Every structure is written in C-alpha cells, then in structure tokens.
Amino acid sequence: MNKNKEKIKFNILLFTIIYTTIFIITKLIINAYGMEFMRCVYNFTICFVILGFIAGMVQAIIRANEKSTKICIAICLACITFFLAIFGAFYIAFLPSEHIVAEHLLKKDKKQMVGYVRAFLRTEVDYYEYYNVFFRSKYKSIVDDYGKGGFNPFEEKLGYKHEVLETRLYDKEGKVIYTHNYNMKPNVTVIDSNNNIININDKTNYESDITNYDYNKMPSNISEENILYQKDINENKKIRVAYLESILAQRSTIRIEKTEDGGKTWLSVHETSDNYITIHNGAEFVFIDENIGFINDHGLAGTDGENRGLMVTNNGGKTFEDVNIIHPDNIEERNLFVKGVPYEENGILKVQIYTINHNKDPEKTYYEFVSKDKGKNWKYSKMIKNN
C-alpha cells in the first residue's frame, strides 16, 4: 500500500496530466470573462507538458519490471516524439500567415497594450488590452496593417522605420467599426479624449490625438440606402435612423445617429452597451426636435399587433421608453393601435389611435390623443370622423 502511494506521489506523468487539465479548465473560465493568457503562459505550458510527458515516460520505463513493457513504452515515446516533431515542422512550413513572429508590450493610444506581430506575405500587428504578466483581453482592439512582406515592424535596422498603411478598430464581436487609410488624404474624423471632433490627415496626428476612444462615438460608415429616416434640425445638426442588419422573427437592428457638421461625420448617440436598438420590420420613426423622438413598432406581422409599442426619447435617442396611453371609459374596445407617428400641431403633440371592432362598419374607429409631457403620457382628445 505504501509503495503504491510512493509511486503516485512521484508519478511525473500523472502530475503532467493534472496540470494540463487545470490549465484547460482555467482557460475556459477566463475566456468566459473576456480574458486570455499571455504568450509566456502558453510557452511555459507547452514546455512543461512536453518535458513532463517525456520525463514521465522515461520514469515509466525505469519503473517497469518486465523488459517487454520497457520496450513498448520506449516505442510509444519514440513515435509520439516523432509525431510532435513532424507536426511542429508542418505548422511552421504551411501555416505561416497565422504564425506569431513576436509579442511586444507597449503603449498604444496612451494605453498599455500587448501587440502580436503576424508576418509572412503580409505584416500586421494585433493589439490587445494588457492586464498583467499573465492575462490580456480576449478581444483585439486595434490592427495595424504594414502591407506586403514578412518582418517585425518594431525592429529598426539602419535607422529605417516601417510605416503603417492602415489602422482598423474592432468591437468585441470582431467587426471593424473604424478604418483609417494613411494613403488617403481627405479629412478623416475621430474623437479625442474630451469627445471633441478633430480632423486628421496623417499618422502623426492620429497617434497623438486619438485617446480613450469610445466605440459608440466612432464615425459611422452607413450607406445612404440604409438610412430609414432623417430629420434636419438646422443646416449643421441632423438626426437619422440607420438600418444595421436583419435578425430572426421579422426583426432588425437600428442605430440612432447624429451629426453636427452638416453630415460629414455621423456619430451614434446610444448610451447602451449594445450600440443598437432591436425593432420589428416596418417600424416608423419621427423626431419632433433634436430631443423628442418616437418609434412606432407595429409588432410581428400576422399576430394582431403582438409585441407592438410606441416608444419615446426625450434625450435625442440616447434612450427610449414605452409611452403610456391612457384608455378612456368612452372607448369600448380595449386594444388601442397607433396610426403612423406622433406630430406637433400648434405646439401640442398629437397622435392618431384607432380601435378595431369586426362587428361594426367601418371596423376601425379613429381617435385623437394628445400629450403635454413630451410624449410620455397620452390622453384622449376627440373622435376623428371619416378618416
């Protein structure tokens, strides 16, 4: 019994397996929290596991009592070692574009980041937020593209400095949210640390001015055909609703954007982390002024207005909330449907609301509702005839 305990106590192969299991579980946990191991942790783990496996197999050969067992273990060790050598050679020879040439800890946009150089036919540097010697962010924030060639841009030879051709910013889903091409001379707009709009034309200004960037404030690149609604407040100030993409159950995502330079630069105004709003297809939009706006979501088609709703914003689209429609006693039907969107008449917010009764002719009856608190609450005003 004691001999078996001693064997377990000094079993190198068993300890190597336990370490590998703990490492994998830890990696899954930190990945769930948006973190990743630094390269040094992976290098240590690979060396530890390989050396531990070889040492464990050698230990097993020494401890084996039968000669045939020793030979079998030795053959297994030789085969596995040969396989690892072939795999390593294959990876280096045929997967060079994904091969990380170097890891650098440096300052980028006045933030401590770790940069991974990927170089073969094209050289790019992926930047991740740095936490400590063991962990970094799981999501890349910036990519600098140096163009063709395989080199480490941080290694200067004979005073030569490699120039970045393009910089891309990414969100946490891996989507490009902003691109700056240094070969393009027209004005490009970014946001400085004080949320001021600045124009840049070269790499020097970019590196010195853009700091603490907010993904929600990155300039929009929405095409004109994806603009669902636009309100011109004045010559320079405008608000619009931009279509992003379709999702399941007849839904789409939209974003409220604002410009203060006549449309040269559009910025998202949302205060939500998602940076978008989900609505049903066919929703209608209106902004009364730069602060008050409405979304009339008609709901899921074919469900008699299920999931419908009129939403209002009083802060220019930063946040939306459901309105409160007060049902008067003189309207028998309990379901109220909003027609179109609210409008302003003689300084009063109004909206048309109708009910449906299949036993009447006509089936729809229209009413006028008004709001005196910027569209949050709506009260009955009068019936509308011959609508």
Predicted pLDDT at 197: 42
Residue with structure tokens 């229209």? 366
Q: Could you tell me if 276 and 337 lie in one domain?
A: yes
Q: Could you tell me if 46 and 119 lie in one domain?
A: no
Nearest to 286 by CA among 313, 266, 253, 305: 313
Give the structural domain span for 51.
2-94
Q: Could you tell me if 238 and 373 lie in one domain?
A: yes
Which one-letter DSSP state was computed for residue 373? S
Q: Could you tell me if 110 and 232 lie in one domain?
A: no
Query: Which residue would you say has higher pLDDT here, 57 or 192?
Result: 57
Domain count for the chain, please give it.
3
Secondary structure string (H, E, C) spanning the chain: CHHHHHHHHCCHHHHHHHHHHHHHHHHHHHHHCCEEECHHHHHHHHHHHHHHHHHHHHHHHHHCCCHHHHHHHHHHHHHHHHHHHHHHHHHHHHCHHHCEEEEEEEEECCEEEEEEEEECCEEEEEEEEECCCCEEEEEEEEEEEEEECCCCCCCCECCECCCCCEEEEECCCCCEEEEEECCCCCCEEEECCCCCEEEECCHHHHHHHCCCCCHHHCECCCCHHHEEEEEECCCCCEEEEEEEEEECCCEEEEEEEEECCCCCCCEECCCCCCCCEEEECCCEEEECCCCCEEEEECCCCCCCCCCCEEEEECCCCCCCEECEECCCCCCCCCCCEEEEEEEEECCEEEEEEEEECCCCCCCEEEEEEEECCCCCEEEEEEEECCC
| Residue where a domain terminates, one of 215, 241, 259 | 215
Evaluate if residue 84 carries a pLDDT over 90.
Answer: no
Least-confidence region, from 166-170, 217-221, 291-295: 217-221
pLDDT band at residue 156 using 50, 70 and 90 as cut-offs: low
| Residue where a domain terminates, one of 215, 243, 268 | 215
pLDDT band at residue 75 using 50, 70 and 90 as cut-offs: confident
Predicted pLDDT at 189: 42
Predicted pLDDT at 205: 44
Q: Could you tell me if 83 and 112 lie in one domain?
A: no
**Interatomic CA distance for residues 158 and 160, integer angstroms:** 6
Predicted pLDDT at 161: 64
pLDDT band at residue 292 using 50, 70 and 90 as cut-offs: very high
Predicted pLDDT at 76: 76
Q: Are 176 and 124 in contact (CB under 8 A)?
A: no
Predicted pLDDT at 10: 66
Evaluate if residue 202 carries a pLDDT over 70.
Answer: no
Q: Could you tell me if 291 and 175 lie in one domain?
A: no
Q: Are 278 and 246 in contact (CB under 8 A)?
A: no
Least-confidence region, from 150-164, 207-221, 315-329: 207-221
Query: Which residue would you say has higher pLDDT here, 214 or 55?
Result: 55
Per the document, the length of the chain is 387
Q: Could you tell me if 241 and 377 lie in one domain?
A: yes
Per residue in 320-334, pLDDT tens? Answer: 999 998 888 878 777
Q: Could you tell me if 139 and 190 lie in one domain?
A: yes
Evaluate if residue 72 carries a pLDDT over 90.
Answer: no
Q: What is the CATH classification number for the domain harbouring 297? A: 2.120.10.10
Query: Which residue would you say has higher pLDDT here, 10 or 364?
Result: 364
Per residue in 243-264, pLDDT tens? Answer: 888 776 678 888 898 988 888 8
Predicted pLDDT at 270: 78
Two tokens at 387? 């609508």
> Angle at Cα 144 formed by Cα 143 and Cα 146, nearest 5°?
140
| Residue where a domain terminates, one of 58, 76, 94 | 94
Evaluate if residue 95 carries a pLDDT over 60.
Answer: no
User: Under DSSP, is residue 45 helix (H, G, I), strand (E, B) or coil?
Assistant: helix
Evaluate if residue 200 carries a pLDDT over 50.
Answer: no
Evaluate if residue 216 carries a pLDDT over 60.
Answer: no
**pTM of the full structure:** 0.47
Q: Could you tell me if 256 and 372 lie in one domain?
A: yes
Query: Which residue would you say has higher pLDDT here, 235 or 181?
Result: 235
Cβ contacts of 68 within 8 Å, gap of 6 or more: none
Which one-letter DSSP state was computed for residue 230? E
Two tokens at 249? 């159950």
User: Under DSSP, is residue 244 helix (H, G, I), strand (E, B) or coil?
Assistant: strand
Give me the long-range contacts of 98-106 (CB less than 8 A, separation at least 24).
100/39, 101/150, 101/152, 102/152, 102/154, 103/38, 103/39, 103/40, 104/154, 105/130, 106/154
**Interatomic CA distance for residues 297 and 338, integer angstroms:** 9
Evaluate if residue 240 carries a pLDDT over 90.
Answer: yes
pLDDT band at residue 272 using 50, 70 and 90 as cut-offs: low
pLDDT band at residue 352 using 50, 70 and 90 as cut-offs: very high
**Interatomic CA distance for residues 250 and 315, integer angstroms:** 28
Q: What is the mean pLDDT of residues 301-318?
A: 72
Q: Could you tell me if 149 and 89 lie in one domain?
A: no
Least-confidence region, from 182-196, 255-269, 360-374: 182-196
Predicted pLDDT at 304: 46
Predicted pLDDT at 164: 81
Nearest to 238 by CA among 170, 302, 172, 289: 289
Evaluate if residue 187 carries a pLDDT over 50.
Answer: no
Q: Could you tell me if 163 and 53 lie in one domain?
A: no
Mean pLDDT of the chain: 77
pLDDT band at residue 312 using 50, 70 and 90 as cut-offs: very high
Q: Could you tell me if 105 and 88 lie in one domain?
A: no
